[in-house]
Structures are given as C-alpha cells and as structure tokens.
Structure 1
Amino acid sequence: MKKVAVILAGSGVFDGSEINEVVLTLLHLTKASASYQCFAPDKPQHHVLNHLTGATEASSRNVLQESARIARGEVQALTELQAEEFDALIIPGGFGVAKNLCDFALQGAAATLDTEVKRVCTEFAEQGKPAGYMCIAPALLPLVYPAGIKLTIGNDADTAAALQQMGAEHIECTVDDIVVDAEHKVVTTPAYMLAQSVAEADVGIGKLVTQVLAWS
C-alpha cells in the first residue's frame, strides 16, 4: 500500500487549509487504496479570521490543533515527518498555506518558508519522491525546487508573475486539469484558485492524486 504524507495549515480557507480540498484529497487517496498521515506545524497561526464576516479576530489559534479538526484528531506535528517513511507528499491549499507554511501572502516574491516546511519539502525533493501541490500551495515550490520548476495556480496574473519572479515557470491551467513537471515529479492543480463548486475542484484534485500515486 502506498503511503502519502499530507501537510495541513490549519482549518478554514481564509486562515488555514481549504477544508474541501483536504477532504477530497483524502477521499481520492482512500479510494485509490493508498494510506495517508496528516501533519501540521505546531505553532500559532499568523492570524485568525471570522469566516462569516471576514474580520480579523484578536484570539490566537494553533495550526496543529486547528488541523486536527479536519483530520479527526489524526494529525502529527510536522517535526515528526520523515520523507523516507513515505512514498509521496501532497499539500492542499487555503490561505493558511501562504500565511502559516510560508509568508507568500505577506511578502509575495520575497517570501520565505517555515523552517520545518522547508526541511520536509526539501527531503521529498532530494529523495526524488513525487509531490502534489494545489490551489495556492504551488507558491512553496520555487523555494524548494530549482529554477524553472513547472507549476500552476490557474490564471491569476499577479500571483503567476510573483511565482515567475521567484524562478518558477508558470503554466496557465483550467480548474479541471493539472500541470506536470515530470523531471521533478511535481504535479499542481488550481483547485479553489478557480473552482466555483466542490464538484469543479474535485476533478483536478482527482487527477493530481492519480498522478502522484502513479509515480509512487
């Protein structure tokens, strides 16, 4: 059975992981008879947003504890993740990826990675293991892989320009498709960067999971 590590960034599209993307990822992995283990950084979120109003709240939440809401408690601290124990890596999107796993949402092309995120993603890359990044998560890729890494976030011009400034080759992509960098075994899909419904997000995510497992 293929074993996949899934990195989460909290719970909720605006300050954590995009819940539908996570659930669809886990569903497709399970239907493909693959096993998975969720991980998340054990640290405070960048900030907390009220998902009903969009307002910033004064409270503080922990990324690992919030991720446990999606993973039904089955999540481990990112410090426990060792690439050699897994066949592949998948990172769903959500603005928490660009706020908690890195600071792309704040710094754009000058972004830096969380230390543990960089360690883990680099381990998978250096070991030649396949990886899937969706939605805004491809913003992590230029900070892990060599210049020229092929990726997509869909068709948002400003985001694509920032990623190209960071050294990536951005390829426009529809919501129901994927972009494959066969040299580095990396696959990306726009998901909710473009999706207008959970059904639309599902198609590209399904293709991403299929490709990741095909390489595993």
Structure 2
Amino acid sequence: MFAARSAVCKSLLSFLRPRPVCVGLIHSSSHCRGANVAVVLSGCGVYDGTEIHEASAILVHLSRGGADVQMYAPDVAQMHVIDHCKGEPAEETRNVLSESARIARGNVKDLAQLSVQHHDAVIFPGGFGAAKNLSTFAVDGTDCIVNKDVERVLKDFHKAGKPIGLCCISPVLAAKVLPNVEVTVGHEEEEGGKWPYAGTTQAIKALGAKHCVKEVQEAHVDTKNKIVTSPAFMCDTKLHHIFDGIGAMVQNVLKLSGK
C-alpha cells in the first residue's frame, strides 16, 4: 500500500511541475493553419500590469478564430507593484516578463525577440501596465515615452500593413507612436461614472489621433491603418459586455490579417 501511495505522489508531483507548453496549440481549436498572432503583455494585474480578464478574453477569441498565438512581454522592471487588495503600492519589485508568464502559463518571450516577419497580427491588451510598463503615460500623459520595443513593434506592423489590435487604455500607445490614426476608448464623457476614464479621449486627440465614440460591445476599425480598438474596461459594466467587445476587436483583426 505504501508503494502505491508513493507512486501516486510521484505522479502528482510530475503533473504539478512547470513544463514547456505550446501556446499555439493550447489556444487553437483549428487543424487548419490560421493567423499567427503575437499578444503583448505588460505584467499580471489590472493596477500594475495586464488586465487579466482582457488577456483571457483575447486568447479565447483567438482560439475560436483558429489563430496560433505567441505571447511576449518586455524584460524590464515594473514601474511599481500594487497590492490589489489595498489599492496601494507595495514595498517590492517585480519583473514584467516574469509576471506576464503567469498569464502565459510560462510560454512568454522577451518582447525584443518579436519580429513582424513571424506574425500576421499583433494585439495589446489593456490594464495599467500599458500606461506604466509599456509607456510612461500614467505619469507623463501626452509627453510620455513608449518602451523602445513597443514602439518598434507598432511601427514595424504598421509599415508592413499588418493589423494591430488594442483595447482599454492601450490605444494611447498607437496614438503616441503612429500618425493620424483612428482609435476608440469608448465615450468622451464620464456619464455618471459609467465611463470613468473618459478624460483619456482628450489626451488621444492632443496626440494627433482621431477618437471615435463606440459602445463597449463594439470595436472601431481604422481600415487605412489596419488598427482595431475596443473600450473594454474603460467602461464600468458587466463582464460579458467587455468580453463581447474584445471579441469584435479580435474578429476584425483576424479578418484584416486575411487568414
């Protein structure tokens, strides 16, 4: 009996041990070759990294669309770490790449390795990490600096005519880096708290981009620049509405990829 228990324990420990995984297979339900999509993360957690529900929704919709997925994140220190229970900074440091691995189930690459030649599209989830770790927008507003690899990726995909998807606060990255783009972060008035981050629209306009008002379930498609955006958690609403809006964004990205 002891030998049997020992074998069970060894089997369980083997199952729990971290192992390499093929994200493209996990997130693809199609046997046919679909679009090869890069997803750029900014950590793990809404207040200091990637918004987890947004990342998950993107991956689900990409899976349904038959896409192969590889996740990336910059190998840099987070701006700070937020205790998500207290909503206050914590006395610790974390790495954006290491934290992003939590969402990617370990299969995440350094953003410096992302090449436009290997992907048909790129998608940026939101979360404050886009404004804190992928750029300094949270601190510097329109004078922000965008991470050099984020800027390179956006410019490379734009130049190659390959679609770029962004949601929540991440459209500010495109507004900062790319000229004369059209994006949405939802509505332009707070409307009693339903759109608590509506002021972001003024920054987008100040950066020279055009803001297009959209509902949370919708996505805006800038066909000229092949940029697709959706409000996501810029709206205080039910989760399934956010999920549906992200779905509209992903579906349009895949459509523009031609795969």
Above 0.5 in TM-score? yes
Match for 2:103 among 39, 47, 70?
A: 70
Q: Which moved more, 1:167-176 or 1:4-13?
A: 167-176
- Quote how far apart the aligned CAs of 1:110 are: 1.0
- Taking the aligned partners of 2:43 and 2:239, their CA distance within structure 1 comes to 19
Answer yes or no: is the 8 Å Cα contact 1:195–1:201 preserved in 2. no
Answer yes or no: is the 8 Å Cα contact 1:175–1:195 preserved in 2. no
Q: Secondary structure at the match of 1:123?
A: helix
1:103 is aligned to 136
Is 1:186–2:186 an aligned residue pair?
no
1:11 is aligned to 44
Is 1:117–2:150 an aligned residue pair?
yes
- Taking the aligned partners of 1:138 and 1:98, their CA distance within structure 2 comes to 10
Answer yes or no: is the 8 Å Cα contact 1:93–1:137 preserved in 2. yes
2:174 is aligned to 141
Q: Secondary structure at the match of 1:72?
A: coil
Q: Secondary structure at the match of 2:72?
A: strand
- Quote how far apart the aligned CAs of 1:157 are: 3.8
Amino acid at match of 2:214: C
Amino acid at match of 1:106: V
Is 1:48–2:81 an aligned residue pair?
yes
Amino acid at match of 1:150: E
Number of aligned positions between the proteins = 215
- Quote how far apart the aligned CAs of 1:195 are: 4.4
Structure-1-length-normalised TM-score = 0.97
Answer yes or no: is the 8 Å Cα contact 1:180–1:188 preserved in 2. yes
Percent same amino acid at aligned positions?
A: 43
Report the RMSD for the aligned CA atoms in angstroms: 0.9
Q: Which moved more, 1:72-81 or 1:191-200?
A: 191-200
- Taking the aligned partners of 2:199 and 2:130, their CA distance within structure 1 comes to 18
Structure-2-length-normalised TM-score = 0.81
Deviations 1:27-76 (A, max 9, x none): 11011111110000001000000001101011000000000001100100
Answer yes or no: is the 8 Å Cα contact 1:125–1:144 preserved in 2. no
Amino acid at match of 2:182: K
Match for 1:59 among 71, 76, 92?
A: 92
Is 1:165–2:197 an aligned residue pair?
no
Amino acid at match of 2:211: H
- Quote how far apart the aligned CAs of 1:121 are: 1.2
Amino acid at match of 1:197: K
- Taking the aligned partners of 1:7 and 1:109, their CA distance within structure 2 comes to 22
Q: Which runs of 5+ in 2 are unaligned?
A: 1-33, 188-196
Q: Which moved more, 1:111-120 or 1:58-67?
A: 111-120
Match for 2:216 among 163, 172, 175?
A: 175
- Quote how far apart the aligned CAs of 1:171 are: 1.2
2:55 is aligned to 22
- Quote how far apart the aligned CAs of 1:200 are: 1.4
2:3 is aligned to none
Higher relative CO (CA 8 A, sep ≥ 6), structure 1 or 2? Answer: 1
Answer yes or no: is the 8 Å Cα contact 2:198–2:234 preserved in 1. no
Q: Secondary structure at the match of 1:101?
A: coil
- Quote how far apart the aligned CAs of 1:143 are: 2.3
- Quote how far apart the aligned CAs of 1:2 are: 0.9
Answer yes or no: is the 8 Å Cα contact 1:135–1:192 preserved in 2. yes
Deviations 1:110-137 (A, max 9, x none): 1120111111111111111001100000
Q: List, as ranges, runs of 4+ consecutive aligned residues in structure 1 with deviation greater than 4 Å.
A: none
